[in-house]
Amino acid sequence: MIDLRSDTVTKPTPAMRRAMFEAEVGDDVYREDPTVNRLEERAAEIAGKPAALFVPTGTMGNTIAIKLLTEHGQEVICDSRAHLLDYELSMVAWFSGCVIRAIPTERGLLSAEEVRRCLRPVSPYSAPTGAVAIEQTHNMAGGTVYPLRTVCEICDAAHERGVRVHMDGARIFNASAALGIAVHEIASHADTVMFCLSKALGAPAGSMLAGPADLIAKGRLYRKRLGGGMRQAGILAAAGLVALEESPPKLSVDHANARFLAEGLARISGIQVDPALVDSNIVVFDISATALVPADVSAHLRGRGVLMNAINQRCLRAVTHYDVDRAQCAQAVAAVAESMAATMAGAKPS
Ligand code: TLP
């Protein structure tokens, strides 16, 4: 199978497996796991923040961050296709008691002007803005990358009004590779940043939430509340430490493969995708110009050994990662062309 459903499907490398086998561990709820402690220190250093917390998932990292930055009854501003809004089981509402003010954007990227327009003060009518969340890279908009300047402007706009900013940097290392800018610089204006070890970096599980020491200390309690006190988590942290060192230099290969994939897809009649707009490792392509249903194409592709997810009624998503090479991307393009032709002709996958 050529698995382009997500970069979450990456398997740990031999170096990660070795590190896991040899990991020194202890009870992390007592803060006695030396490997987790090392990972938290290293992650804080990379993010350029005073402290970091190891969490099982990106969803938990985002959930804790929003809780730390808001009060019940407030609003969180984010783009209308944010992961926080569409894929986290409304944890912003469930755990933090906030509503989301979703801003429609062209490519998933907010601007300071829009944020300024939407920031709400305390009033007798509307929920005041508690936080702004930006997604770097933006997943469902096709791995789009915020220019550093836009991030700074958004953070300035929010901070001027006393509102803090969370960066959902699940794929911040991809942003770093695309921009050629260090992670700590990309995250420097945001108050908190979450990044995932388990996506393009390839660790089997885990994400990091970084920010000011007092917030992270409080976040540790929220993590326990959410059931994230993982005891001998050093087994996982060991893989994370390897991922942080060995994977970032390889990400530009995934980006080049994504561009190659998009170029191939753009040549197929009925597909809309602009390869020039593929910034990182995610390709979202639109087949609404045909009468085809993305879920049907996805099902047909599976029969041809290629996995891609339909993400809505118009689009499919392909995500490149280190377990898929250039030749497999070429095979995937050919399979999409065949599947679309076959689905149009009403054929069943062979
Ligand atoms: N994204 C997953 C799915 O949930 C859609 C994927 O396959 O891309 N922020 C962003 C921007 C993400 O893309 C994801 C996962 C998360 C947060 C949540 O991370 P996990 O899955 O570790 O909870």
CATH number of the CATH domain containing 167: 3.40.640.10
Ligand 1 midpoint to CA 14 (Å): 24
For the chain, give the percent of residues with pLDDT over 90: 96
Ligand 1 midpoint to CA 7 (Å): 9
Q: Ligand 1: which of 8, 78, 109 to mutate, judged by most atoms within 8 Å of the beta carbon?
A: 8
User: For the chain, how many structural domains are there in total?
Assistant: 2
Ligand 1 midpoint to CA 168 (Å): 10
Final residue belonging to a domain, choices 229, 246, 263:
246
In this prediction, residue 258 carries a pLDDT of: 98
Give the model confidence (pLDDT) of 274-316 as tens digits: 999 999 999 999 999 998 999 999 999 999 999 999 999 999 9
Q: Which domain holds residue 180?
A: 12-246
Ligand 1 midpoint to CA 207 (Å): 10
Domain assignment present for residue 2? The answer is no
What spatial distance separates the first Cα and last Cα of the chain, rounded to whole Å? 15
Average pLDDT of the chain? Answer: 97
Please give the number of the atom of ligand 1 that sits closest to the Cα of 137: 11
pLDDT at 350 over 70: no
Domain assignment present for residue 29? The answer is yes
CB 128 within 8 A of CB 99: no
Q: Ligand 1: which of 6, 81, 83 to mutate, judged by most atoms within 8 Å of the beta carbon?
A: 83
Residues near 165 by Cβ (< 8 Å), separated by ≥ 6? 131, 132, 133, 134, 154, 155, 158, 159, 189, 190, 191, 192
Final residue belonging to a domain, choices 189, 223, 246:
246
In this prediction, residue 349 carries a pLDDT of: 52
Please give the number of the atom of ligand 1 that sits closest to the Cα of 56: 22
Domain assignment present for residue 4? The answer is no
Hey, what are 268's tokens? 């197929």
Give the model confidence (pLDDT) of 184-230 as tens digits: 999 999 999 999 999 999 999 999 999 999 999 999 999 999 999 99
Mean pLDDT, rounded, for 104-109? 96
- Whether the bond between 59 and the residue before it is cis, its omega within 30 degrees of 0, is no
Q: Could you tell me if the CB of 10 is within 6 A of ligand 1?
A: no
Give the model confidence (pLDDT) of 327-342 as tens digits: 999 999 999 999 999 8
CB 26 within 8 A of CB 34: yes
pLDDT band at 121 (very low <50, low <70, confident <90, very high): confident
pLDDT band at 347 (very low <50, low <70, confident <90, very high): low
Please give the Cα distance from 232 to 78 (Å, whole number): 35
> Is 155 found in the same domain as 101?
yes
- C-alpha to C-alpha distances, 237 to 47, 207, 289, nearest whole angstrom: 16, 10, 46
Scanning the structure block, which residue is given the tokens 């809780």?
A: 67
> Is 226 found in the same domain as 262?
no
Ligand 1 midpoint to CA 241 (Å): 20
Exposure string for 311-333, b = 16+ CB within 10 A, e = fewer: beebbbbbbbbbebeeebbebbb
Final residue belonging to a domain, choices 206, 222, 246:
246
Give the model confidence (pLDDT) of 222-280 as tens digits: 999 999 999 999 999 999 999 999 999 999 999 999 999 999 999 999 999 999 999 99
Q: Running DSSP on this structure, what letter comes out for residue 69?
A: H
The secondary structure of 247-301 as a DSSP string is SGGGHHHHHHHHHHHHHHHHTSTT-B--GGG--SSEEEEE-TTSS--HHHHHHHH
> Is 255 found in the same domain as 227?
no
> Is 208 found in the same domain as 273?
no
Q: Running DSSP on this structure, what letter comes out for residue 9?
A: G
